Amino acid sequence: MAMAKNKTLCFTCNKDKITYLCEGCLKNFCLMDLTKHRQILNQELHHIITDHHQFKQIFNEQKPNSHDLSLIDQINQWEKSSIDKIKQKAKDCIAIVVKSSQTFNDIEKKFNALSEQIKQIHKEDEFNEINLNYLKNQLIEITEELNNPLDISIQQDSQPFINEISIILSKKPKFNKWKQDAITVAGGNGKGQELNQLQCSLGIFIDKTKNIFIADFWNHRIVEWKCNAKQGQIIAGGNGKGNRMDQLNRPTDVIVDQRNHSIIIADSLNRRVIQWMNQNQQILIKNIDYWGLAMDKHGFLYVSDYRKNEVRRWKMGEYNKGIVVIGRNGKGNQLNLPRFIFVDEDQSVYVSDWGNNRVMKWRKDAKEGIVVVGGNGEGGNLNQLSSPEGLIVDDLGQIYVADVGNHRVMRWCEGKEEGEIVVGGNGQGNQTHQLNRPMGLSFDDEGNLYVVDSWNHRIEKFEIIL
């Protein structure tokens, strides 16, 4: 960058100062704004380097490996075995053809022998009925053999003689990755109750248009942030802590029933589940200590009760008949402070078992659950969790859990002994690559990951790497 000789207008502060020309964008900046401009360029370079490292990792993971070489070995073995089979079959067929051709030689030998016998008898002129009958029968026998030769031909089977093989090319299941530097899409303006602020939020729901619904725990309200909005709008509560129908008291989770455009809220300290529809409120369930909510594809509502250590299921419209689907019914069904829940397409129920530092899964109608994440005590190793909260499961059955105490989001495949860090895990902090006690989790339709960064009072969006 070259120094200008006279004072000119700074592009950023719009003041006449000694400026410096940026040879990249061809704009003039004063020294202070030039420094800021360079910082922005450095940040962009940092993002490019991060994306480069992520691509390199993905590229290395997808390079041909020993598995591909073993496939070539299998093809070579198939070729050898097939050739050996063909050679053996040809050898057997040749032997049959050779043997069948010997029949004519045998007839000729018998005919020559018979000729000699006839000559001998005729020469010696000594024969009787017995000799004549013998000669006659011999001649009949070789005549029948000559008139009934074997019909030799080659028949090709319609069924393949060897096992055919083919190469099937299919894409491996895509294990998504996300940029490690997040974009703040809600809050991020310090702790507070203004419309551009949040305060220790917990649950989250993303609708089809990427609008974000947030259980703003300490502000006793549900806030909706439109996609790309600079501030949210209160759609439930926000009238102070209380138990009136227009009030909430520490809401922990929220879901949107998109069939009737209502929101359903776990109003925890009021011990009720409440539905808001067009500013009209209705108590659906009461006198239970709720935390997490979920709804399956059939419209059944699931609620975790952190005092009774159980999960109940209600049919919409029949809230006096809740059924315990997970509870204290012996080994394999025990929970310790269940928090968030998730129900998949098969109606399997997943629950973050907060007090046991694990995630449990119950298949539909199962009598006992299984540990699918953690269960190895509290800790920060890849086979451990620390106070798990938010929970989602993708279409491949991979389980994502907010590992609160370790300030990270983990992904586990059922049956694996260890998980992997998806985002966070860089210590407790408020930088774009850090989290501070993450809570709720959600995906949008494009696969971007949203994390409630609770103690940073913001919602972070981690963009998927395509």
Q: Domain extents for the chain?
A: 7-56, 177-465
pLDDT for 379 beyond 80: yes
> How large is the average pLDDT for residues 433-454?
95
pLDDT for 258 beyond 90: no
Distant-in-sequence, close-in-space partners of 175: CB < 8 Å, separation ≥ 6: 396, 398
Tokens of 66: 């020993």
Question: For position 62, what pLDDT does the model report?
Answer: 64
- Give me the percent of the chain exceeding a pLDDT of 90: 45
What distance in Å separates the CA atoms of residue 380 and residue 382, rounded to the nearest whole number? 7
In which band, very low, low, confident or very high, does the pLDDT at 273 lie, cut at 50, 70 and 90? very high
Question: For position 84, what pLDDT does the model report?
Answer: 85
**Higher-confidence position of 261 and 144:** 261
Point out which residues pair with 413 in neighbouring strands: 398
Tokens of 356: 């046991």
Pick from 292, 308, 305: nearest CA to 342: 292
Point out which residues pair with 237 in neighbouring strands: 221
In which band, very low, low, confident or very high, does the pLDDT at 67 lie, cut at 50, 70 and 90? low
In which band, very low, low, confident or very high, does the pLDDT at 1 lie, cut at 50, 70 and 90? very low
pLDDT for 124 beyond 50: yes
pLDDT in tens, 298-344: 889 999 998 889 999 988 777 777 888 887 654 556 888 999 999 99
Q: What is the pTM of this model?
A: 0.66
pLDDT for 161 beyond 50: yes
**Higher-confidence position of 73 and 410:** 410
- CATH superfamily membership of 177-465: TolB, C-terminal domain (2.120.10.30)
Question: For position 2, what pLDDT does the model report?
Answer: 47
Question: 251 with 268: CB under 8 angstroms?
Answer: yes
Pick from 229, 226, 179: nearest CA to 206: 226
Angle between helices 129-147 and 66-124 in degrees, nearest 10 = 150
**Higher-confidence position of 44 and 421:** 421
